[in-house]
Each structure stands twice: as C-alpha cells, then as structure tokens.
Amino acid sequence: MKQYSNASILLSACVFLASLSAGSAAKFKVIAFYTGQSDLAHISYVHEANRRLPTIAAENDFTYEATTNWDNLNDEFLKQYQVVLFLDTRPEKAAQREAFQRYMENGGAWMGFHFAAFALTPSGYPQNWDWYHNQFLGSGEYKSNTWRPTSAVLKVEDRLHPASRHLPATFKSSPNEWYRWENDLRTNADIKILLSIDPASFPLGTGPKEYEIWHSGYYPVVWTNIKYKMVYVNMGHNDMDYEHKTNKELSFTFDNEVQNRLIIDSLLWLGDGKKP
C-alpha cells in the first residue's frame, strides 16, 4: 500500500480547501505543474509555493490546484483553467509542448518560475524547444548563475505594467540563485522587461568560484512577451545548507511582502481575462 506523509496530506488538504473557499465566486482558476524531483533548493521552493499559493488564492478570490502529471497538458484539461504555472521544470513530451503552445496562442495565460526557463545543451534539459525558449521566453539557453543564493536589489523597469505598478522603484529580493541568459532581451521588440538587477547589488554572489560573483552587467529577472499573456520570474530557488551537509532550508521565497506583491499582481493580471 502506498504510504503518504503527514506533510503530503496537509498539502493536499490546503490545495483542496483553497479551491473550496473561492467556490463559485472564483474570478479564475490556476493550475500549477511541477516535477519536484531534483535539486533540493528547487524542491524546497515547490513545496513552499504549494503551501503559500492556496492561501494567496483564497485571499484574492481565485482557485489554485497543483499537479505533477504533465500529461494533463492537453487541450481538454487546460480548457478548465485560465492560468497555467510552471513551478520548476517544463514539459518534455511533444504532445504536451504542442498543447501548451496552442493554449497560449489561443489566449491562455502563464507564469513560470526560475528553473522553468532553464535549457542547456548538453544537459538533462537541452535547448530542444525553439518556440518556448527563443520565441515565447526570448531568453535562449542558460549561460551562468550566481552562487551562493543571495538577496539582490531589484530595479522596477516598468512602473505602469499591472504586474509591477504597485512596487517601489527598487526593493530587496528574497535570497535567490540568479540566472544569466544567451540572448539580450533588450534587443527583442516582443519582450518587455519588468524588473532587472540594480547595480547597487554588485558584487552579487559569494562564490567560492570567481565567475559565480557578478560585478557588473545588465540582468533582467522578470519579463513578459507582449504577444502573450505571460510573466517569467527568475525567483524560485531557496537557500539551503549544502556546505555543512545538513540540507537545512535557510531562506524562503515567499518571506518577502514586496516580492509577494509582484507575484500576486502578476496572477491577478494573468487571470483578468483580457487579451495581451
């Protein structure tokens, strides 16, 4: 008989109750896909998101559900939901990818976090999906990251967009591992950068390897593609005690009210039913 942990039962109950609390008055429905099988920092974030987002949904009159079944990325299943989230990874099967592209091209909405944009050839997640990485996200392949996970001062590039209009001009993020990308998003006319790393953050990262510390440069961390109803957020990697081999969680992404405002306003914009 399959055994369930108390944490798993509690998580399922929270997600279920969030759906019930909104009931028929729900403004829209969100479905989150995740894998949660590799990198303890990403797993920590996924578990945290599935604890916190049901409460956020209940407080803002939408419903939140989560699944590890990526085969649910099909036309029949997706038509029930107005917003799709990728919490950690991306779909790998051709049928799943085709269904997601159709969903987005027909007015669906999406929000992706951190590793959901990762692609690197060669790796376990090669860049083998041009529409998603080059057209939809615009970022292309992953190039490098900072280490350790650290807070950054983030600069709001667009003070008028619904996802970022309630944010201060700059704010300090939760600790995160920050990604650098192959493509310069500033040169893509379809991409609107909402937040970037403020120069006050430098040096960003602690190493120990020198290339893991950023001293200068331009790094977008939240953006949208104006052809779609979508937001990508580079946050989603909690700090873990790898060095002392305790694997203790040292930070949580949602322990930041200003950053939470970005996530909440992004979800409310994505679910408002308006065309991009």
Q: 194: burial class by Cβ within 10 Å (0-12, 13-18, 19+)? A: buried
Question: How much is the pLDDT for 40?
Answer: 96
Asked whether the beta carbons of 139 and 117 are under 8 A apart, the reply is yes
Residue 1 lies in a domain: no
Question: How much is the pLDDT for 275?
Answer: 86
Q: Is 71 helix (H, G, I), strand (E, B) or coil?
A: helix
Closest of 114, 74, 108, 66 to residue 91, by C-alpha: 74
The reply to whether omega before 203 is within 30° of 0 (cis) is: yes
CATH number reported for the structural domain that contains residue 107 in this entry: 3.40.50.880
Residue 190 lies in a domain: yes
Question: How much is the pLDDT for 258?
Answer: 98
Show the domain range for 40: 6-270
Residue 165 carries which DSSP code?
T
Residue 150 lies in a domain: yes
Residue 192 lies in a domain: yes
User: What's the total number of domains in the chain?
Assistant: 1
Residue 198 lies in a domain: yes
Residue 275 lies in a domain: no
Residue 225 lies in a domain: yes
Residue 276 lies in a domain: no
Q: What is the pLDDT along the chain (276 residues), one digit of tens a residue?
A: 334 455 444 454 455 444 444 445 689 999 999 999 989 999 999 999 999 999 999 999 999 999 999 999 999 999 999 999 999 999 999 999 999 999 999 999 999 999 999 999 999 999 999 999 999 999 999 999 999 999 999 999 999 999 999 999 999 999 999 999 999 999 999 999 999 999 999 999 999 999 999 999 999 999 999 999 999 999 999 999 998 999 999 999 999 999 999 999 999 999 999 988
